[in-house]
Chain A
């Protein structure tokens, strides 16, 4: 398997525009005292008063074991579900105050998703898969394809825009999915276990791609159960039992995080 690891090019993919719909210096994502209770029998509290915010250009890893609430947190941050209490703000817009249709429009224009299973449409070309990222944003097809081409160039896959997903390797398929998430130049990209279906080397290449995207200012939140992956992120948030156990805090360079956890010993344990 050969993975293309080309460096990020900004040709046709304007860095300023990447961030433009976000407006000002507000945090891209604000999670404020968010609780989520699933009304099953008995009720399950998946998140308990979680608060943090993500600034523009951050590369955040949210890590935790199974059942820690990280997937629930992803649902809420990604506006695919609503919190039981507390507030989620994307680019300053409080989800609580938006109708379902407005939340859908918010996802169409400001949020990108990367999934563990890629979720590519096998019957259409790589280019059209990426272009579908703009389908619900009201962009004409010709422009969708042009921007999809640029997004493919960003992930180093512009050589085979007309290939079908089943002609690609796993790593290449995930690059297509990443291009689809980036094509709308969203304020924030959520990646759910993006390397979960990939072998070690390919997974490393994908993480390298995230780092390159981070370098050009894309805001990315990676949800993973893998501490090694989280350790490569500029900031990592550890979750246990629906609460944040540790937050390394924002640091513009990913090499020397400054922990903000109330539990200093945790960082040490994490690194070990």
Chain B
């Protein structure tokens, strides 16, 4: 039998290492808790920042996808001389002929102001616009009637108006009753209904909508559409987008603006995270402070536990055993802080998001990164104290008490 065989160094079993790594934490609970707190605050800040911005973005994106990303908006652009171009009256039917287009609805800007009554000073226009609107408009822009009813083939011929959500609010009208009127371009129009907010087409919110025939008959409207709302098959949105300008105004395609409202909203959702870097930086500073705290506590712990280290060496622990024990203790300490931080960060995200009626989203990067960062910090912060403990001579550790 060789010496090496008879004197094989045994690795600690995982269960024993687990027990040893919590000795310092179990015997000095308050101190361990306070030093884990630093890590917890840093991780909580990071998880909450990422969670809150993800929740807000997810809420918006969810809303956008519910409204549909296949809406395209065609508007009159500018002429070469800088004047407002005009869409041809034939634009909506021309667009309707594109294969992948499923809905075409239009509005036409009508000059004039709207007041609650003729007694309102004309200067108080409330920035409400008048638009002639086609009959299927609400469905195309994913909104619906909040009160009363929308225009139909009959009311579109008559002095009847439907109020956009913001327009109704500015006029001080929150419900519709029979015979209710508004003073529209110096004549009375009956209010048929109020729309819900149209998130994809906010221009409609601040408009008072009347039928095309009524606009032409009562308001001197020339019948040219100014905005055309197009729904295309989702798989062909880009193809339709490319054809719209030429279809709407074959003579001057460059005088047509085509936009996709959902794209702007997606960009807005992405912008929710604009301040993330700042707060993540603050979280990282908190983590760094936490790491220094853990290193400090571990160094003190090594000094205080000299007799334990010496005893363990006398009982047959190698330097590696001692190093492993203290390194594991630092990692466990940081891990407890990290787990608590993820819990607090997730909880605060959940509470905040639910008060805002947003979807609660904790990205895997946030909690995974938080736990990972905690383990890394524990390992880095614990390395030097662990090496110091392992270097300690057993005779000094035991006999210099």
**Chain A contacts to B: CB under 8 angstroms:** 21, 71, 75, 78, 80-81, 93, 97-98, 100-102, 104-109, 113, 115, 117, 119, 121-123, 132-133, 135-138, 140-141, 180
Contacts and interface: CB of A to CB of B under 8 A. Distances in A.
A108 B312 CA distance: 9
B199 interface: no
Nearest to A132: B315
A108 B10 contact: yes
- A-side interface mostly: helix
A105 B10 contact: yes
B318 interface: yes
Contact of B318 (A101, A113, A138): A101
B393 A141 contact: no
- Interface size on B, as a range, is 35 or more
A104 B3 CA distance: 13
B7 to A, nearest CB: 4
11 contacts: A75-B395, A80-B313, A105-B318, A109-B7, A119-B307, A123-B26, A135-B16, A135-B316, A137-B10, A137-B316, A138-B11
A180 B316 CA distance: 12
B7 A102 contact: yes
Contacts of A100: 318-319
B311 interface: yes
A135 B9 contact: no
Interface of B: 3-4, 6-13, 15-16, 23, 26-27, 307-308, 310-321, 393-395, 398-399, 401
B13 A140 contact: yes
Given A105-B10, A137-B10, A141-B15, A93 B3 contact: yes
Given A107-B315, A109-B7, A119-B310, 16 more contacts: A80-B313, A104-B9, A104-B319, A105-B8, A107-B314, A108-B10, A109-B316, A117-B307, A117-B401, A121-B23, A122-B27, A123-B23, A135-B16, A136-B317, A138-B8, A138-B10
A102 B317 contact: no
A15 B398 CA distance: 30
B4 A102 contact: yes
A139 B398 CA distance: 25
A80 B394 contact: yes
